[in-house]
Amino acid sequence: MLTISQTQQMKTITAQITDFNQKCNAILETNENHLKKANEGIQLCNRTLSVLKDKVEQHDFENVPDEIEFFKNHKPIPMSYLIYFTEVRSCELRMPKAGTSYKIEFLQKELKKVNKFFCKNADFVHYMEQGYSYLDHQFFTRNQRDNFPFTPMTDYYQFPEFSTAQDMLWSKVKAMYRFIHYIREALKKLKVNDAEIFQEKRHKVLVWTAPKTALIELIYALYSSGALNHGAADINTITSSFEDFFNVKLDNVYKTYNEIKERKSSKTKFLEELMLNLQHKISKEESV
């Protein structure tokens, strides 16, 4: 097995993940139906995981921290989308073709399966949610795989040199957060006036009054920090939620993001203004 510098290996992997995220977001932002998005997404995920697998086989990690970083934070990105797109595709194909009540019952059963999954894996989910790392060498290195037998979530990429004890489980956790949003949106379409579906919207009405570009800047900041759903929330999910909450319609989000990147002045103007305003408020209150 060939070795390359630690920095070069991780830079190559990071670039691959960045490219994947851009292409995946482009698929999610199209106006195509869920089935077509899922099919295109599955193909993209398969290609990306295949490339990552080859890189790991050809150039192994120089140390344990790099190995943990890859299997905890890099591989689960395309792997979780592969599971998500596979679940969406299966759901779309199995969805009853007629009868709103049958469709609602079907989707509610899917939600029960998701809740059962989270209940079954509550300890692991808690470990990840709290940001713990004391078991990472057991969960996310290949040397400890035999100590944690597990049932594969899918048949994809279960190769000895490309799997750890829990990287697949972590990928599914992230995928299920996205899948919940998909089911929630599907139920909304079927129960437009149902108070049960919309009960979370009984908050006071808030309207976004700053420029829409500022909101998109905030959305991408939250996305890049992994602050929502433990990093599982994609741009489309975050955007939809913000549109609901702030009663605003955001068009051409990805295009606007590219325009933000091309700014000649500060590329994070709104975020810097938020930080300065908060610092000013705190300083003012402390001086009283």
The pLDDT score that the predictor gives to residue 240 is 84
**Tens digit of pLDDT for each residue in 54-104?**
888 877 777 888 888 888 989 999 999 999 999 999 999 998 888 888 888
Confidence at residue 153, expressed as pLDDT on a 0 to 100 scale: 46
Per-residue pLDDT band for 3 (boundaries 50, 70, 90) equals very low
Check residue 88 and give its pLDDT. 93
pLDDT computed for residue 83 by the predictor: 93
Paired strand residues for 2: 59
For residues 49 and 79, the answer to whether their CB atoms sit within 8 Å is: yes
Whether the per-residue pLDDT at 180 is higher than 70: the answer is yes
The structure's pTM equals 0.69
pLDDT in tens, 89-148: 999 999 888 888 888 888 889 989 998 999 889 999 888 888 888 999 888 888 755 544
Query: Distance between CA 229 and CA 238 in Å, rounded?
Result: 10
**DSSP letter string over 165-209?**
SSHHHHHHHHHHHHHHHHHHHHHHHH-TT-HHHHGGG-SPP----
Q: What is the mean pLDDT of residues 21-26?
A: 90
For residues 197 and 191, the answer to whether their CB atoms sit within 8 Å is yes
What pLDDT was estimated at residue 56?
81
- What's the pLDDT score for residue 189? 84
